[in-house]
Structure 1
Amino acid sequence: MTIGKDTIGMIGVGLMGHGIASNIVKHGYPLVLLDHPGNQPVDSLLAAGAAKVASPAQVARQANIIILCVTGTPQVEDVLFSPNGLLQGLRPGTVVIDCSTAIPSSTVRIAQAVTEAGGQFLDAPMTRTPKEAAEGRLNLLVGGERELFERCQPLLRCYAENITYVGPIGSGHRMKLLHNYVSLGCAAVIAEAAACAQRAGIDASVLVDVLANGGGGGVALERLRPFIQSGDDSGLRFSLSNAHKDLGYYTTMAEETGATHIAADGIEQLFKRGAKEAAPNTTLPHLVALLANDKT
């Protein structure tokens, strides 16, 4: 164990979590991983000194700070509340940092359960892509007590470039859903327009150039540009199923707060349709092709 460093527990070593874990190890923190079939290959992490254990409870027994990076609310709740879950091994003072995308009302309940078990909680969801995760350049949106946020900043800066304190517990997840609604919504509009352009006989490069030089320019277009022009989906490695999930979380939040969500409902249905028609783990750029080939 490295002297003076907290032991970090990592639950969820997928496309995003693997980059987080790699940067934590690179900065000299002892790391304990939950062994899970959804993990990316962890050989390089183990070679760098990380250990792996079989249950969330075992992670909690060995770590001072635990980072969750799983798919969504059902998975977070399972990690915490299952018979061999995190709460079964949580030690007093342990910090739980949830980097997943989750329904904020569930986040508040989970934070309360962690606090009642003697732990502390931050919700710190991330934006950007696996590329930035590997580079240690994620954006984090953090909710929780400011004093705890400040104390955890040295760890967070191992894998994040821009860190924003948003407010009390749940605020990070609320801001993440707002962000994803806007970013995924823009991508959905561009994908639908690109499919229409294809059917209307508009050259893909002309479409992209006109949008980029006008009101359609921005991050969403640049991430979709390679697919629109040449079928390369590497610019946006985000699945249609996750897009559908995130829009569903957003509309749930909007309903719970009494906010209007008319446009969000339509975008959610578009992603639902794409996820249903596509193979598992199909990335969002393929929505262009699915819509262009739609026979209905």
Structure 2
Amino acid sequence: MPDMKIGFIGYGAMAQRMGANLRRAGYSVVAFAPSGGKDETEMLPSPRAIAEAADVIILCVPNDAAENQSLQGDNGMLAGISAGKLVLDTSTVSPEQALALAKIAAENGFVVLDAPMSGSTPEAETGDLVMLVGGDAETVERAKPILDVVGKLTIHAGPAGSAARLKLVVNGVMGATLNVIAEGVSYGLKAGIDRDVLFDTLQQVAVVSPHHKRKLKMGQDKSFPSQFPTRLMSKDMGLLIDAGRKVGAFMPAMAIADQALGLSNRQHADEDYSALIGAMEHSVANTPHK
């Protein structure tokens, strides 16, 4: 299987790291990115060119609109794809978008999994992502050798659209937890707890996950290199709130986190979403934040 060619449509920070791991595993990798070349990967001029050249196409784009743009038109993926090819949609998109792509695949004779990943750039770097997949079992089995390279675990969430829904749950918990931590930090600082004592303590307690301990370290250092930019987390929270409204779910804590991350996004869109800790420190505790 490593003699297969894998084509990325969208080649940002996560996709580049997945691509590097696939190359190390022996796969040939090509990519399309609107902003041009990213690394030593061969870059092709359009999604159509990727679909024509690759055996497996991996979509890794920011949102529903970007995905639709990559699919449609004379230079879109659908203009170049042929029957039988496999598409893995690792983008975090709405459940409706995932279902629409599954319908398009059925109508055009190719197969697709909604396959968003859980993890940030450190996990993508080491191939330790958790891959969530939605689709039929046969397609999951077909994709398994590729999924096993980029991730440490693949969870088959159910039929098409299931992984898109599950990813919103995961990111909602992640965003809401970060907001709770930021609120706790703001209280602790305003109450006069020594700053380093506060951050160091939160690094030691079991109630804070390893992921969020990384975010606390960024907050303590007042430096937020973008492992998962605020603009994408804010987008995902918005998708979750919209999806929750449609099914009548009760999610007040996640709704508050959506608002907090939306506010943080105004000034920290391209910084890591942990910049919310710094924004809260600045605005609530009135302590310096760059």
Moved more, 200-209 or 247-256: 200-209
Aligned to 2:175: 184
Secondary structure, aligned partner of 1:259: coil
Question: How far is 1:230 from its partner?
Answer: 2.6
Match of 1:275 in 2: 265
> Which 5+ residue runs of structure 2 have no aligned equivalent?
none
Deviations 1:271-293 (A, max 9, x none): 111111x1440222221221222
The 4+ residue runs of structure 1 with deviation greater than 6 A are: none
1:31 — aligned with what? Answer: 29
Q: 1:203 to 1:221 in 2, by over 3 A?
A: farther
* Deviation at residue 268 of structure 1 after TM alignment: 0.6
2:39 aligned with 1:42, yes or no? Answer: yes
- Shift in CA distance, 282/214, structure 1 to aligned 2, threshold 3 Å: closer
RMSD: 2.1
Give TM-score, length-normalised by structure 2. 0.91
Work out the CA distance in 1 between the residues paired with 2:233 and 2:192. 28
Q: Flag the 1:4–1:175 CA change in 2: closer, same or farther, 3 A.
A: closer
Q: Quick one: distance in 1 between partners of 2:63 and 2:231?
A: 12
Rate the CA distance shift 1:220–1:38 in 2: closer, same or farther, 3 A: farther
Give, as a single letter, the amino acid of the residue that structure 2 aligns with 1:172: A
Distance 2:233 2:62 in 1: 11
Identity of matched residues, %: 29
What is the aligned length?
285
* Kept after mapping to 1: 8 A contact 2:121/2:228: no
Equivalent residue, structure 2, for 1:109: 100
Q: Tell me the TM-score normalized by structure 1.
A: 0.89
Deviations 1:181-240 (A, max 9, x none): 011110111012212322332123332454455574223431222123332435x72222
- Alpha-carbon shift at residue 160 of structure 1 (Å): 0.8
> 1:231, 1:86 → 2: CA distance?
41
Q: C-alpha distance in 2, partners of 1:163/1:76?
A: 23
Q: Residues 190, 82 of structure 1: CA spacing in aligned structure 2 closer, same or farther, 3 A cutoff? A: farther
Question: Does the residue aligned with 2:149 lie in a helix, a strand or coil?
Answer: coil
Match of 1:202 among 181, 193, 197: 193
Equivalent of residue 167 in structure 1, options 146, 158, 168: 158
Shift in alpha-carbon separation, 1:253–1:286, aligned structure 2, 3 A: same
Change (3 A) 1:227 1:155: closer
1:224 aligns to 2:215 (yes or no):
yes
In 1, the alpha carbon distance for the partners of 2:43 and 2:203 equals 46
Determine if contact 1:191/1:288 at 8 Å carries over to the other structure. yes
